[in-house]
Amino acid sequence: MRGIFCSLGRRKRRLALPEIKLPNLYELKALIKRRGAAAFFTAMLTAGLIIGSISVNGLSGKTLESMDLLFATNLPERLKGGLSAAFAASFSSDFIFLFVSVLCALSLWGAVILPFIAAFKGFGIGLSAAYLVSSYGVKGALFYFLIILPAVFVFSIALIFELSACFSVNKNIIINIVKGKTYPFKGAVFAFLKKSIKYFLAAFAASVLNAVLWVLFAGLFNL
């Protein structure tokens, strides 16, 4: 009997929930320092997404068509193209966002513009999704989730990390200028551009994914 009770006691200890340990102040500061910028840009992108999704009804058809270079808002025209057209439409939009981000990182007041880049991208995501749903109903929603969303998700992650890298290098440049310190500009910019290449490659991969999904599944939808 004693062995049975000991066995039950050990089993209860094994089934006990793991202890939850809250981070201390030092760990919290370190976490914010590492991921604070990424969390901020994610919040800005999400805010833009919400605004874009609720503002689609206030935009005219011509306005939506004119925004097709950056966002998928003219589906009938895009459906006429093939693999190369789908890839070009996706990558040209992603390239513009990343290129403007790099320019902001190397400009004096670029950090002020970076949050608006995230918000504008989110605005386009929400606008494109709401446009498809409002125009084509369930079929439009399926089209978005099956063909457009996977590539958008990949690029959004790449953009958030790129914006975080841009903010970091821009902040270091400004702090050193204000303090009157010499800043290893060439080395820092080279390291930043080297890191940025990874995000441009991620955008390239997202565009390839978008083009492949477009060719494979766009024919199933008659929008």
Q: How far is CA 186 from CA 8, 11, 70, 182, in A?
A: 65, 61, 32, 11
Around Cβ 47, how many Cβ atoms within 10 Å? 16
Higher pLDDT: 217 or 167? It is 167
Can you tell me the distance from the alpha carbon of 173 to that of 77, in angstroms, rounded to the nearest whole number? 44
Q: What are the pLDDT digits (tens) for 36-47?
A: 889 999 999 999
Question: How sure is the predictor about 173, in pLDDT bands with cuts at 50, 70 and 90?
Answer: confident
> Pick from 147, 150, 130, 139: which is nearest to 222 by CA?
139
Higher pLDDT: 72 or 150? It is 150
Q: Find the radius of gyration of the CA atoms of the chain.
A: 23
User: Quick one: tokens of 155?
Assistant: 């690029």
Q: What is the domain partition of the chain in residue ranges?
A: 25-220
Contacts from 106-113 at CB under 8 Å and sequence distance 24+?
Answer: 106/169, 106/170, 106/173, 106/189, 107/170, 108/173, 108/174, 108/177, 110/166, 110/170, 111/166, 111/167, 111/170, 111/171, 111/174
Can you tell me the distance from the alpha carbon of 3 to that of 119, in angstroms, rounded to the nearest whole number? 63
Higher pLDDT: 133 or 12? It is 133
Query: Do 73 and 65 contact (CB within 8 A), yes or no?
Result: yes
Q: What is the pLDDT of residue 95?
A: 92
Q: What are the pLDDT digits (tens) for 94-112?
A: 899 999 999 999 887 888 9
Q: Evaluate the CA torsion angle 151, 153, 157, 160 in order and state its sign.
A: positive
Any residues with CB less than 8 A from the CB of 162 and at least 6 apart, and which?
A: 98, 101, 102, 196, 199
